[in-house]
Amino acid sequence: MAVSALACCNPPMRVLLIEEDARQCAHIRRRLVAWRPHAQLVVHSPVAQGALAPEFLAQGFDAVLVAAEWPGGHGITWLGELAGRRGFAPLVLLCGTDPSAARDAAALGAYSVNLQDLEREDFIRVLTAAEQRQAHARALWRTSAPGRETQRFGDAFVRDYRCIRKIANGATTDLYLAESERAGSLVVLKVARDRRDENNQPIDAFRRFLQEYEIAQRIQTPAVVRLHDLGVSDEHAWLVMEYFPRGDLRKRMRQPVTPRQALLLAASIARALTAVHAAGVLHRDLKPGNIMLREDHSVALIDFGLSKDAALAMDITDTGTIFGTPHYMSPEQGHAEPIDERSDLYSLGVILFEMLAGHKPYRAENPMAIVYKHRKEPIPRLPRAFTAVQPLLERLLAKTPKERFASAHEAAQALERTLERWQARAANG
């Protein structure tokens, strides 16, 4: 049995509109809300946002409206591709007076509506039919054996989430790409395995997930991952978070990163830390794998399971325990000493060095040797081409917190000034 912490009543009608014309979008929104005051219209721009993800079936929508055409695209072409996805939501082509468009839509199993009929009952009749068809499809999906199997994530059954594929194995959790009916989008579902500690006691994954969820919900900034849901199923804790098609900074760093890109990314991370620290939270595990990249090239921090939250007075690691990732730990964190916001800034310095130099500042054969080097070895030098960035890097990677920037805000300003100087020098040759 799956239990969600966010169980709620049936959601209002939700419609996805694929359209470029802003006036047409506004018109359809007014018409929809006049009929169903609580209805939701989500607009997808085919020009700015491109094609819908190939795994997406629009299960969270009662109907998908597709414009007949837009600059560089035709609705009937999209209709043919989407209709070919088994289980896709009911499709409606918004066509003109040409009867052939309606016939083409019908041949694909889709509805059609003449744009001149938006104010008439024909539009409402088509949406009602689409809604009823989708309700029937959802009922079959939830109750049939094949449908229930798609709601299984490893050993956990999580209702209303369609498993697409496993995307990663962690030390204690598995990550799955899924589609959320409630969110109306692709999501990542993190499932904790049934793991026990050295004393054969269950690992308290739900408490860690709950902390992560509460932190992200309270901060409410694009700089932090959006978390949709959490719960327990078959004794497995699970957490649902937004999906980032571009992946994380670790993936981005497999390709060359220019100095401008590195400084811009570092400044964005510092701004994200500013928001996190302002909420009384220390991340404590800042690394490229926990920095996600959005479609607009901004960043979002994830994985607050190891964070220390002053507002919640919650620290679920044992006193004296070393936690985090050794390559990115500050000297004080690596030695289980008290830490503050400046520890996260040290981790940012490690990431900046790695982006510019192409390797980590301290390397060794075992974790404890790396921890030792963070405290005892000199701050490494960047390649000669990046000499102008070295003073800033030394502030971030200072061995003691008092020698670093006083805050993430101060670090962000320094990074932005360095970026401006770098760009000015590049412009002047």
Average pLDDT over every residue of 200-219: 74
pLDDT in tens, 382-395: 999 999 999 999 99
pTM of the predicted structure, to 2 decimals: 0.83
- For residue 97, the model assigns a pLDDT of 74
User: Cα separation of 349 and 367, whole Å?
Assistant: 19
208 vs 60, more confident:
60
Q: Report how many helices (DSSP H) and strands (DSSP E) the chain contains, helices first.
A: 13, 19
Average pLDDT over every residue of 12-34: 96
φ, ψ of residue 132 to 5 degrees: the values are -65, -40
Average pLDDT over every residue of 120-148: 95
11 vs 173, more confident:
173
- For residue 1, the model assigns a pLDDT of 44
> Does 62 qualify as catalytic in the annotation?
no
- For residue 332, the model assigns a pLDDT of 94
User: Cα separation of 164 and 393, whole Å?
Assistant: 42
4 vs 162, more confident:
162
Q: What rounded mean pLDDT belongs to the chain?
A: 89
DSSP line for 25-78: HHHHHHHHHHHSTT-EEEEE-TTTT-SPPTT---TT-SEEEEESEETTEEHHHH
Residue 91 in tokens = 């499709």
pLDDT in tens, 169-199: 877 789 999 999 999 999 999 998 765 555 5
pLDDT in tens, 283-312: 989 999 999 999 888 899 998 766 665 544
2 vs 255, more confident:
255
Q: Which of 160, 229, 248, 285 is catalytic?
A: 285
- For residue 311, the model assigns a pLDDT of 46
Dihedral, 191, 194, 200, 203 alpha carbons, nearest 10: 20
List, in order, residues 6 or more apart from 119 with CB less than 8 Å away: 31
pLDDT in tens, 229-248: 999 888 788 999 999 999 99
User: Cα separation of 416 and 413, whole Å?
Assistant: 5
- For residue 198, the model assigns a pLDDT of 54
Report whether pLDDT(154) > 70. Answer: yes
Helix (H, G, I), strand (E, B) or coil at 335: coil
Report whether pLDDT(201) > 80. Answer: no
Domains of the chain: 2-144 (3.40.50.2300), 154-242 (3.30.200.20), 249-427 (1.10.510.10)
Report whether pLDDT(5) > 80. Answer: no
Residue 318 pLDDT class (50, 70, 90 cuts): very low
